[in-house]
Amino acid sequence: MAVTFVLYAHATRRGKFAVWEELLDELELRGDEQLLDLGCGRGAVLLAGARRLPKGRAVGVDLWRGVDQSGNAQSATSRNAQAEGVHSRVELRTGDLRDVPFSEGEFDVVLSSLAIHNIKDVEGRRRAVAEAVRVLRPGGRLVIVDIGRSVPLYGDILGALPVSGLGVRSLGWRMWWGGPWMRTRVVTASRTVG
């Protein structure tokens, strides 16, 4: 039980931040991109992205439900953006991941961290992944980090959508939520051009 607690505490307090920094490094952002974080919660991933966009914009969308994450409120995310010094380039919106309030091809990068699994039904998760691709511009990049049995489903869904470079991999022990039975994986892809 002690090991489970230590792994969970590490993933929550340090591991997820280190892993996301590496994932953002892999994107090699120029700094002027339009970035969307689906299910942004209190903003850990959103704000990490915004720090890398001095000439860009980072948009976070969430339903702001405490059942999905404790303390999940738009006001908390706004305060965090202010504290990080990125408030001027962060926009927060209320919206359902299954029907995001954005135009097709509006974003260069779409991220989602530990959010899509909160959608209870398979059809809803399918719609959320399809929406992520819809709002990506051609050549735009998608990074979905999640837990559970849904992750292989995301790969299957993306296989039927206009994407290339589809990859699924484990993120290792730094994001084990208690042990190897609660692994976190990442799904990456790019929207095809043309």
Q: What is the pLDDT of residues 41-76, one digit of tens each?
A: 999 999 999 999 999 999 999 999 877 667 789 999
Taking a C-beta distance cutoff of 8 angstroms, is the pair 59, 89 a contact?
no
- Going by the DSSP 8-state scheme, the letter that residue 193 receives in this structure is P
- Tens digit of pLDDT for each residue in 5-29? 656 665 566 768 888 999 999 999 9
Q: Which residues contact 13 (CB under 8 A, 6 or more apart)?
A: none
Burial label, 105 (beta-carbon count in 10 A; 0-12, 13-18, 19+):
middle
* Domain total of the chain: 1
CB atoms within 10 A of CB 94: 10
- Mean pLDDT along residues 138-147: 96
pTM of the entire predicted model: 0.91
| Cα distances (Å, whole numbers) of residue 152 to 91, 133, 147, 171, 173 | 31, 17, 10, 14, 19
Confidence of residue 193 (pLDDT cuts 50, 70, 90): confident
3-state secondary structure of 1: coil
Q: Report the C-alpha gap between 62 and 100 in whole angstroms.
A: 10
The residue range of the domain holding 21 is 2-191
Residue 5 backbone dihedrals phi, psi, to 5 degrees: -60, -45
**What is the CATH number for 30?**
3.40.50.150
